[in-house]
């Protein structure tokens, strides 16, 4: 049974585990856990020498991340060049320091949402902080920035501030496209057309506001980002069981499957009247991750907050096994797992992308698991069954009950001597039953 944990304790533990994660991903040292924060920057921006000045992302160089993330990495490199010490280590530590800000803000936003929805704040501890993903995947790249924008957008949307929510989801898309997928669920949950239009308009506008100038400066590099994503192979997805990792079907299956999820979601929205923005966002997000052919471990940074804010989404044992499998993918990809098994004389090959790789097998299992969360726990349990149970509760006839005595009744009763002598009830006999009026 999970214990209640105070918010102050959650923050302290989060900082301790975050510090451990900083060590685990330390470049070419620490726990030898892979991180794009170092590798991508070194490949795209500074090369082996890492000597400034560095090329401006998109304008002077290509980078495979959206512009928000690209310019964050570039800014960290520029700042690090003015500080003493080995450059790559300084760049990494500086990046981790600033990434701690959206990490703490993410925890704060989840606290606000749990308070608004009457949930336990300790959910943040059990389903986000004390998790394998927080330890091993949080600093695998810059996803936490987009996740922070998205969760803040979810909170503002539930409070009726659709334009502010749209702005934050647009910034999330400009930072990391995948983290903005919950916007589809928010759009479907809008109760008025004008709210949906305002939300979508501000989200698209904020995304274009950041991307359009970059596109005009260098269209080739901006379009190169999209080509890079399109040409990527199947990674950590159940699709590897059925097609090769570079099969052209990887561009067909996701579109068809995700469209099917959206059609069912539309039925839930307009037939079963499921309008909870968090539930619809959860289904959209998990359906997308299940449908896509690239499911990297850091994507769980976006998935975990939904376990915090949606009650009884999964039992804790199920959740922790699912998340441990996710962490196994990033740990297995790193050289640390090879070295660990070598101590016992076991030669474990990592870094492969086929079915013979234990990394891919772990990725495939938790990929199917995400599909289970989307279809069974989302569409059926949260969308159909619980909605039906709530409707049955509303359809039950009201139970007639006698009115409880009030202070006024007591005064009137005691003012009558005859009533006192006869031991009469404190409730006047002529009082009407409120359930029949």
| 358 vs 160, higher pLDDT | 160
pLDDT digits (tens, 9 = 90+) for 347-390: 665 555 566 677 778 889 999 999 999 999 999 998 887 765 55
Question: Is the pLDDT at 218 greater than 80, yes or no?
Answer: yes
Task: Kindly report, residue by residue over 53-96, the tens digit of the pLDDT.
Answer: 899 999 999 999 999 999 999 999 999 999 999 999 999 999 99
- Angle, CA 382 vertex, CA 113 and CA 203 arms, to 5°: 50
Residue 225 CA, distance from chain mean position = 23
Assign 343 a pLDDT band (cuts: 50, 70, 90).
low
Q: What is the pLDDT of residue 388?
A: 55
Backbone angles phi, psi at 294, to 5 degrees: -125, 110
- Kindly list the distances between the CA atom of residue 419 and the CA atoms of 333, 403, 409, in Å, as whole numbers in the listed order: 84, 19, 12
Model confidence at 413: pLDDT above 80:
no
Judge whether residue 47 has pLDDT over 70: yes
Query: What confidence tens digit (pLDDT) does each residue in 219-260 have?
Result: 999 999 999 999 999 988 999 899 988 999 999 999 999 999
Phi/psi of residue 409, nearest 5 degrees: -60, -40
The percent of residues in the chain predicted with pLDDT above 70, rounded, is 82
Cis peptide before 53 (omega within 30 of 0): yes
Cα distances (angstroms) measured from residue 126 to each of 10, 13, 134, 181, 244? 9, 11, 11, 24, 37
């Amino acid at each position: 049974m999970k214990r209640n944990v105070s918010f102050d304790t959650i923050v302290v533990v989060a900082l301790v585990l975050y510090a451990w994660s900083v060590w685990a991903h330390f470049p070419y040292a620490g726990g030898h856990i892979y991180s794009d924060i170092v590798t991508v920057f070194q490949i795209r921006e500074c090369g082996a020498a890492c000597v400034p000045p560095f090329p401006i992302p998109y304008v002077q160089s290509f980078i495979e991340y959206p512009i928000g993330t690209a310019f964050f990495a570039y800014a960290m490199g520029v700042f690090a060049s003015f500080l003493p010490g080995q450059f790559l280590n300084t760049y990494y530590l500086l990046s981790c320091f600033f990434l701690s800000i959206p990490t703490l803000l993410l925890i704060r936003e989840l606290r606000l949402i749990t308070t608004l929805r009457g949930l336990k704040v300790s959910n943040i501890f059990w389903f986000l902080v004390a998790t394998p993903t927080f330890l091993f995947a949080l600093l695998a790249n810059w996803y936490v920035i987009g996740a922070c924008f998205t969760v803040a957008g979810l909170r503002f949307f539930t409070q009726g501030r659709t334009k502010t929510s749209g702005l934050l989801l647009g910034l999330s898309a400009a930072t990391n496209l995948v983290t903005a997928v919950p916007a589809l669920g928010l759009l479907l949950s809008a109760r008025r057309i004008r709210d949906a239009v305002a939300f979508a308009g501000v989200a698209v506008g904020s995304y274009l506001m950041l991307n359009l100038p970059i596109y005009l400066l260098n269209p080739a590099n901006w379009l190169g980002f999209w080509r890079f994503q399109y040409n990527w192979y199947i990674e950590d997805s159940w699709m590897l069981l059925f097609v090769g990792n570079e099969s052209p079907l990887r561009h067909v299956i996701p579109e068809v499957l995700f469209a099917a999820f959206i059609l069912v979601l539309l039925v839930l929205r307009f037939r079963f009247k499921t309008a909870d923005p968090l539930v619809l966002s959860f289904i959209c997000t998990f359906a997308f991750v299940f449908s896509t052919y690239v499911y990297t471990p850091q994507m769980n940074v976006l998935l975990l907050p939904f376990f915090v804010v949606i009650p009884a989404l999964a039992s804790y044992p199920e959740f922790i096994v699912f998340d441990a499998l996710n962490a196994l993918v990033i740990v297995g990809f790193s050289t640390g797992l090879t070295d660990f098994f070598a101590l016992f004389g076991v030669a474990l090959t990592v870094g492969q992308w086929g079915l013979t790789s234990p990394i891919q097998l772990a990725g495939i299992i938790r990929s199917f698991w995400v599909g289970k969360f989307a279809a069974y726990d989302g569409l059926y349990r949260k969308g159909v069954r619980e909605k039906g149970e709530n409707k049955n509760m509303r359809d039950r006839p009201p139970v007639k009950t006698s009115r409880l005595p009030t202070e006024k009744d007591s005064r009137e009763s005691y003012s009558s001597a005859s009533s006192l002598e006869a031991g009469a009830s404190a409730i006047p006999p002529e009082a009407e039953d409120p359930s029949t009026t």
